[in-house]
Amino acid sequence: MKIFDQVTSSANTRTHLLTDGILSCSYQEIPEIFDRIQKHFSKWGISKENGLALECENSLPNALVLLYLLEVESSVFLLPKVVGGTELSKSPLPQFCRYRVVTESGSTVDLRHPEQFCHLVENEGWIGTGDQANHVSPKLYLRTSGSTGKPKIAVHSHAKLMGNALNCVNRLGLESNDRIAIPVPIFHMYGLGAAFLPGVAVGASIDLQPKSNLLRYLQRERDFNPNVAFMTPTFCETLLKGRKSPRKYKLTVAAGDRMREDTFALYESHMGCLVKLYGSTEMGAIAAASLQEPSEVRSQTVGKPMPGVQMRVEEGTGESGESFEGMEGVGELWCQHESGFEGYVDDKGNPVVQDTQNNWFKTKDLGRIWADGHLEVLGRCDHSVNRDGLLVLFSD
DSSP state string for 375-391: EEEEEEGGGEEEETTEE
Per-residue confidence of the chain (396 residues) as pLDDT tens digits? 666 665 655 557 778 999 999 999 999 999 999 999 999 999 888 877 778 999 999 999 999 999 999 999 999 999 998 766 544 444 678 999 999 999 999 999 999 999 999 999 999 888 876 554 455 688 999 998 765 557 789 999 999 999 999 999 999 999 999 999 999 999 999 999 999 999 999 999 999 999 899 999 999 999 999 999 999 999 999 999 999 899 999 999 999 888 988 999 999 999 999 999 999 999 999 999 999 999 999 999 999 999 999 999 997 655 555 555 556 789 999 999 999 999 999 998 899 877 667 789 999 999 999 999 999 999 888 754 433 444 444 444
87: in domain: yes
- In a domain? residue 37: yes
303 in any annotated domain: no
Question: Which DSSP string corresponds to 299-314?
Answer: HH---EEPTTEEEEEE
Give me the pLDDT at residue 88, please: 46
Task: Give residue 78's domain range.
Answer: 1-7+23-129
Burial classification of residue 386, based on how many CB atoms lie within 10 Å of its CB (0-12 exposed, 13-18 middle, 19 or more buried): middle
Residue 41 maps to a domain: yes
Q: How many domains does the chain have?
A: 1
Alpha helices in the chain (DSSP H): 30-42, 60-71, 114-117, 158-172, 189, 197-201, 214-224, 233-242, 261-271, 295-300
Cα→Cα distances 296→61, 159, 220, 265, 292, Å:
41, 35, 31, 9, 12
Domain presence at residue 334: no
Does 66 reside within a domain? yes
- 57 lies in some domain: yes
Q: Is residue 61 part of a domain?
A: yes
> 358 — alpha (psi -120 to 50), left (phi > 0) or beta?
left
SS3 354: coil
Whole-model pTM: value is 0.90
**Spatial separation of the C-alpha atoms in residues 276 and 374, rounded to whole Å:** 12
